């Protein structure tokens, strides 16, 4: 059976629906969350309410679910859990589960945006000019190496929390003085786009890429996007992928300037707008099923139509309190 475990499904209900559509009768989608009213778990075949990822017994509970439900592949939808899965890859592999997550080293790089910047810079990969210390930024500013506006965001942030466009030195100093986050400062670049990619579990090759431009962005990610294809972007992605150790779905953010792409960051999980790729026929769940069955996926990059739009909208789950797996006050 092609049973897949999605950890901390949260609000990603449509992803559960799409996954079940692909798997059909060949397996089950099992979803977990630490809250019994997380909407997405209601769309899975089976649901579990688990402790928070900081609980000392969390991994043991997840391993127990894997054994009970005969899980064949596992992934998470939240950034803080990626490192946890990466640190415990062998435990899952030992019970026959494919952990669709990066290595520990790659997970650490993806979570720490400044370390990622230094790593990319040291390997000659185009990436926006970035500073961590305010004094270093000021020195570069007065040398004319960077100018306002700039973009600041938490060094280890998730989603768009704490991210701001900053127009003046005074505003920048105020943000640093508030000390709300451990900020990095990035040159402000336009022409942003992103791409979903699947890295085969066995070959470690990029076997699928879906790229899209943002039409509208809300807190946490893009809400309206349009698909496009550019061989320069596909080549760029393939040129740096050997520097990392991924497995499964990843989400990448880019900028485009003067005919060249710049890598901003990589999230080693299904991105919130992966739904666009699936709707355009780029089905990563089929690739997961192939890997579950020991099949190495063939490279099929850019196998979709341009000009396909994704337009997100609101929806709801209606259920009864008596049907919850646990009291929602817990």
Distances (CA, A) of 19 to 12, 126, 169, 182, 271: 11, 34, 47, 36, 14
For the chain, 330 residues long, give each residue's pLDDT as a single digit of tens: 999 999 999 999 999 999 999 999 999 999 999 999 999 999 999 999 999 999 999 999 999 999 999 999 999 999 999 999 999 999 999 999 999 999 999 999 999 999 999 999 999 999 999 999 999 999 999 999 999 999 999 999 777 788 999 999 999 999 999 999 999 999 999 889 999 999 999 999 999 999 999 999 886 678 999 999 999 999 999 999 999 999 999 999 999 999 999 999 999 999 999 999 999 999 999 999 999 999 999 999 999 999 999 999 999 999 999 999 999 987
Q: What does the alpha-carbon distance between residue 169 and residue 48 come to, in Å, rounded to a whole number?
A: 49
Q: According to the model, what pLDDT value does residue 219 have?
A: 66
Q: What does the alpha-carbon distance between residue 293 and residue 200 come to, in Å, rounded to a whole number?
A: 12
Q: According to the model, what pLDDT value does residue 160 have?
A: 75
Q: What is the set of domains in the chain, with CATH numbers?
A: 2-100 (3.40.50.20), 128-185 (3.30.1490.20), 188-309 (3.30.470.20)
Q: According to the model, what pLDDT value does residue 167 have?
A: 98
Distances (CA, A) of 127 to 107, 124, 296: 18, 9, 31
Helices 169-178 + 134-142 axis angle, to 10? 170
Q: According to the model, what pLDDT value does residue 161 have?
A: 84
Q: According to the model, what pLDDT value does residue 220 have?
A: 65
pLDDT in tens, 304-329: 999 999 999 999 999 999 999 999 98
Q: Which residues have C-beta within 8 Å of that of residue 299, sequence separation ≥ 6?
A: 205, 206, 207, 208
> Is the Cβ–Cβ distance between 190 and 174 less than 8 Å?
no
Q: Which residues have C-beta within 8 Å of that of residue 164, sequence separation ≥ 6?
A: 151, 152, 153, 175
Q: What does the alpha-carbon distance between residue 178 and residue 176 come to, in Å, rounded to a whole number?
A: 5
- Nearest CA among 204, 210, 211 for reference residue 284: 210
């Amino acid at each position: 059976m092609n049973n897949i475990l999605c950890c901390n499904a949260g609000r990603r209900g449509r992803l559960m629906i799409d996954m079940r559509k692909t798997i059909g009768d060949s397996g089950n989608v099992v979803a977990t969350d630490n809250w019994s009213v997380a909407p997405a778990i209601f769309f899975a075949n089976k649901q579990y309410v688990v402790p928070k990822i900081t609980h000392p017994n969390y991994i043991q509970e997840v391993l127990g679910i894997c054994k009970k439900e005969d899980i064949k592949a596992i992934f998470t939808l939240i950034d803080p859990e990626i490192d946890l899965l990466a640190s415990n890859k062998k435990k899952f592999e030992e019970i026959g589960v494919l952990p669709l997550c990066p290595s520990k080293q790659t997970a650490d790089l993806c979570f720490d945006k400044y370390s990622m910047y230094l790593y990319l810079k040291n390997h000659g990969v185009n990436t926006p000019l970035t500073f961590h210390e305010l004094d270093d930024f000021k020195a570069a500013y007065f040398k004319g190496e960077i100018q306002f506006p700039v973009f600041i965001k938490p060094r280890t942030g998730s989603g768009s929390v704490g991210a701001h466009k900053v127009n003046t030195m005074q505003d920048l100093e105020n943000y640093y003085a508030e000390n709300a986050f451990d900020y990095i400062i990035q040159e402000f670049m336009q022409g942003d786009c992103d791409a979903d990619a699947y890295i085969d579990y066995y070959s470690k090759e990029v076997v699928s890429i879906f790229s899209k431009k943002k039409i509208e962005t809300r807190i946490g990610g893009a809400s309206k996007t349009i698909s496009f294809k550019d061989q320069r972007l596909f080549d760029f992605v393939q040129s740096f992928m050997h520097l990392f150790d991924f497995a499964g779905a990843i989400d990448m953010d880019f900028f485009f300037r003067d005919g060249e792409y710049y890598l901003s960051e990589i999230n080693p999980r299904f991105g919130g707008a992966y739904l666009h790729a699936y709707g355009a026929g780029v089905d990563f769940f089929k690739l997961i099923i192939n890997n579950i069955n020991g099949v190495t996926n063939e490279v099929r990059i850019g196998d979709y139509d341009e000009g396909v739009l994704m337009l997100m909208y609101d929806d709801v789950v209606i259920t009864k309190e008596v049907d919850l797996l646990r009291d929602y006050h817990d």
